[in-house]
Chains A and B, each alone.
Chain A
Amino acid sequence: MGDNNVNLPPGFRFYPTDEELVVHFLHRKATLLPCHPDVIPDLGLYPYDPWQLDGKALAEGNKWYFYSRTTQNRMTSNGYWKAMGIEEPVISSSGNNVGVKKSFVFCVGDAPSGIKTNWTMQEYGLSDSAASSTSTTRSSKRRGHSKIDYSKWVICRVYERNEDDDGGAELSCLDEVFLSLDDLDEISLPN
């Protein structure tokens, strides 16, 4: 585990945006810049089943974060991560395409006949343009070892999909129903 020395008051949690994950954590990691706080551990080509991540990856709520590398097949001891074929660009607040987010589902058993689980992974990688722009800005300084393959680093976020756990930040279904009942009240009551 990295430098996990974040001393924040109760209520602060690691809830990074896609942009923060890519721009702050992944980009800095890939360009060998120091990450502060260095909270996300590097698990390499992690061979762990998702339920083994606790204690190894950065855990927040029901989500786990770690650095890894791109690979063609993500095998673990009891299964494999299957690509869901969903690739979304990560757009920065300034409108740049900074990365790509791919989704995987964990299957238990041997590929390709494994059984799907609720475990989901989002893999954040740098987009080619982001990587090349980095290499140009950094290459002047680091010409000596400029052969860093930026595309190899990824950040993974693993979680078990279930009913949304929003800590009450959104409206519950019941609240929504009550809200629409309020509409009905106003319609049927003249006052």
Chain B
Amino acid sequence: MPENMSISVNGQSQVPPGFRFHPTEEELLQYYLRKKVSYEKIDLDVIRDVDLNKLEPWDIQEVCKIGTTPQNDWYFFSHKDKKYPTGTRTNRATAAGFWKATGRDKVIHSNCRRIGMRKTLVFYKGRAPHGLKSDWIMHEYRLDDNISTDTNIISNGMGEASQEEGWVVCRIFKKKNYHKTLDSPVSTGETRSQMFDSCNGGAALEQILEYMGNGSKEEKEGKRSGRFLRQIDTGVKNGYHETFMKLPSLESPSSTSCQNYYQPINPDHHMITENEGLAGYQMESSSSSAALTNWAALDRLVASQLNGQTGFSDPTMPYGPTDHHHQLQFPTLRSSSSISSSNGSYHPTRQDYNTEIDLWSFAQSSSDQLCHVPNAPV
């Protein structure tokens, strides 16, 4: 009966109509994963354990369904095991394919305190390196216990080792298809700018530009056209890609950017916002596959470019050394219902804002680079 109020999950009964399991990232980490790693009992078995190597994504949705209501995403705990006893990489292969990390890990905050990290992975059918990319996406959340004591120091070696083992909580979902995946490199650029536009109808770009404020008059004029992204694309197509590839490889994150990364409020470092993104990116590249090498190289190029630009150390720039989390405090709406723990739902938004800023600085500096190519030291 639909009015049955008991909500035992996974078969026996169901969630009342209209209610869905839609945890915030904070709830996933602070409530569910924290209980899991400390072997505490979780009242309801809403998040099951899944052996990621044994189940395909389309099987997971069957195993992890909650009640009978339709779902768009599925949650499970997974225990990460090393791929090789001596290595640090995680084995995420299944019978039909494998999960491959993409992008860089996102820091999850709770009340401005770092609580964990989110890795984004894509499921590829087949075997690397010839896998076929699917629409299945996984967000893998891990607790960041090294950081939770409010120290700004994370041991890179240690952190890397510990992040590849232990319990994580995962969400899988099917990517909404804004565009068809294209195979030819010629159309890749177009795809990317289309995609950028399709996110909130270009609102993200506008937000970034608004946030940049008077710092970039010229860019404002071009904000509708998305031409800066296209400029990057053009550059890549015309062979700058190769130039990046020839840069000397740099295996470990540079010490300067790491310092900046972990002291984000130090007013002496005006480059922090830029480097925050780049340092994170470099860390990712050092821990994951060689497929990211060329983009790590691009990062370094951008970083070196930034270091030579005095304009970026202007303290009046709106994205200067001040803490974003305070500047961008969104009005927090409070749920008046008795449904538990509704706060924190705005944290992801704030995070997105941050990453978009990173993206913008990345895009802008790259386009500068490419615009002034005749004078560029490359």
Contact = CB atoms under 8 A, between A and B. Distances in A.
A54 B173 CA distance: 32
B153 interface: no
A145 B352 CA distance: 54
B294 A189 contact: yes
Contact of B295 (A13, A168, A185): A185
Interface string B181-198: 110010010011001100
Query: Does more than half of chain B's interface fall in helix, strand or loop, or is it mixed?
Result: mixed
Closest 8 A-B residue pairs measured CB to CB? A11-B23, A178-B103, A16-B18, A36-B3, A173-B199, A15-B20, A24-B17, A13-B22
Interface string B234-275: 001000010000000000000000000000000000000000
B207 A163 contact: yes
Contact of B176 (A12, A170, A175): A170
B329 to A, nearest CB: 14
Given A10-B341, A163-B207, A15 B22 contact: yes
Contacts, number: 204
Given A11-B31, A173-B199, A175-B103, A6 B120 contact: no
B96 interface: no
Given A14-B18, A177-B196, A169 B345 contact: no
Nearest to A176: B195
9 contacts: A12-B15, A13-B19, A55-B336, A62-B333, A165-B346, A182-B100, A182-B102, A183-B188, A185-B292
A112 interface: no
A89 B41 CA distance: 44
A163 to B, nearest CB: 6
Nearest to A183: B188
- Determine the interface band of chain A, counting residues with CB < 8 A from chain B: 35 or more
A19 to B, nearest CB: 9
Nearest to B104: A178
A171 B137 contact: yes
Interface string A3-26: 011101111111111001100110
A39 interface: yes
Interface residues of B, number: 81
Interface string B2-20: 1101010000000111111
Contacts of A55: 336
A72 interface: no
A180 B338 contact: no
A164 B333 contact: no
A132 B241 CA distance: 65
A24 B2 contact: yes
Contact of B7 (A8, A15, A20, A24): A8
Nearest to A159: B333
Given A11-B27, A37-B5, A170-B176, 11 more contacts: A8-B19, A8-B340, A10-B32, A11-B24, A12-B7, A12-B339, A14-B18, A14-B339, A167-B345, A169-B73, A174-B359
